[in-house]
Amino acid sequence: MRTSPFPISPVIPRSQVVLLSAIAIAGLLAACASRIDDYFALIISNIGINIILAVSLNLVNGFTGQFSLGHAGFMSVGAYAAAAFSLFLGPQLLGSAGGTPFQQGCLFFGALLTGGFFASLAGLLVGVPSLRLKGDYLALVTLGFGEIIRVIIQNVEFLGGALGLNGIPPYTTIFWVLAFVALSVFVVSCLVNSTYGRGFLATHDDEIASEAVGLNTTHYKIVAFVIGAFFAGTAGGLYGHFKMTITPTGFDFTKSVEIVVMVIMGGMGNTLGVILAAVLLTLLPELLRPIAEYRMIIYSLLLIVLMLVRPQGLFNFKLGKAKT
């Protein structure tokens, strides 16, 4: 048997190619950031943050088959935790001079991890007692959690109360947003396509049968909830350090519904479709801005029509092959 004189290079998994490509694009855009108009930078950042929120919720609602309406609550926990880290610990760590750009980047990365940690902790605290529920009951519990978090933050003076937190350092850049978009998509894709991740899909397909063969479905639901909450928290941190001010009203029930609509429109359990839906639903209000008086009416009507025409999701396909 003849052997090739050239060594056979290993095949790089597609998820790693996507991650490396996304980070490369993020670096390229960051290098060109000075040439990007502020308005377009705002749109790109909003798209990236919404992609992180939608992909993380898709792990819970799409791949695991649960129905959470409290994602904005986890986003608010991460936003306030990251903002508090930067506002209260930043001056002590960086000093009066403000530190070098590298030190500021390290501080911001620590703030995002802090926001993700507290959001995932909130997800664990909510998930352990509530994820034994199913369907509408779980939706009500998560909805109540989101509203409880908003009311608590609104009445805590340390966090600014109803006025929120102001003067948050503007650390969020296009690079940071796209880098965390790549990270969230990479983690979720690798997780659901791994041997361990088959448990999420089994829980989604038939929870009773999965439990009958010894699968701990509650464990998988809690893991999905915690990971989804972590990335929602990092998205909140990115949001706060981009807007430079956050208020409790920015994380209300409407925001949770908006994220759920992205997941449903993209196709439950379809990462690519959810990404496209997040892009579309972020751009649509901007495209309708010339008719500002009727913008939200047209936006709502378009969503209703799309849900009636494509209830399985507008982008519910895999690599060009649509699901029927």
DSSP codes of every residue in 161-213: GGG-EE-------HHHHHHHHHHHHHHHHHHHTSTTTHHHHHHHH-HHHHHHT
Provide the residue range defining the domain that includes 65: 14-252
User: Do residues 128 and 218 make contact, with C-beta atoms less than 8 angstroms apart?
Assistant: no
> Is 240 inside any structural domain?
yes
> Is 99 inside any structural domain?
yes
> Is 157 inside any structural domain?
yes
Which pLDDT does position 95 carry in this prediction? 75
What is the reported pTM?
A: 0.86
Which pLDDT does position 231 carry in this prediction? 96
> Is 303 inside any structural domain?
no
Which pLDDT does position 19 carry in this prediction? 61
> Is 123 inside any structural domain?
yes
Which pLDDT does position 320 carry in this prediction? 39
> Is 263 inside any structural domain?
no
Q: How many helices (H) and strands (E) does the chain have?
A: 13, 4
> Is 120 inside any structural domain?
yes
CA neighbours closer than 13 Å in the CB half-sphere of residue 254: 4
Q: How many domains does the chain fold into?
A: 1
* C-alpha torsion angle, residues 316, 299, 251, 241 (rounded to 10): 90
Consecutive sets of 10 residues in the chain, 324 residues long: mean pLDDT of each?
Answer: 44 57 66 73 91 94 88 94 91 78 90 96 86 76 86 86 88 90 89 87 84 85 92 96 91 88 87 90 83 71 76 59 40
d(CA 155, CA 138): 26
State phi, psi for 100 to the nearest 5 degrees: -85, 165
> Is 19 inside any structural domain?
yes
d(CA 33, CA 31): 6
Query: What contacts 310, CB < 8 A, 6 or more positions away?
Result: 265, 316
